[in-house]
Amino acid sequence: MKASDPACDRGMRHAEYALLLTAALLVTAGALTDSLWLVIIGAWTLIAAGLIEMIYRP
């Protein structure tokens, strides 16, 4: 698959949305249960989604 292939773009978009949803769930669960490690993992997941946004979106 080439980078300009629409299926590749769709896959990266789905990965980004999945990471954003996971980050939101982890941060919320961490805040509700006072688990700092869940909040930290959620923050790193959000960073990964941001990197995908910057790298794969022109």
Q: Which tokens hold the place of 9?
A: 């773009």
Interval 1-58: pLDDT, tens: 555 566 667 888 898 999 999 999 999 999 999 999 999 999 999 999 999 889 876 5
Interval 24-33: pLDDT, tens: 999 999 999 9
What is the Cα–Cα distance from 35 to 48, expressed in whole angstroms?
A: 21
Q: Which amino acid is it at 25?
A: L
Q: Which amino acid is it at 27?
A: V
Burial of 54 per CB tally in 10 Å (0-12, 13-18, 19+): exposed
The pTM for the full model equals 0.79
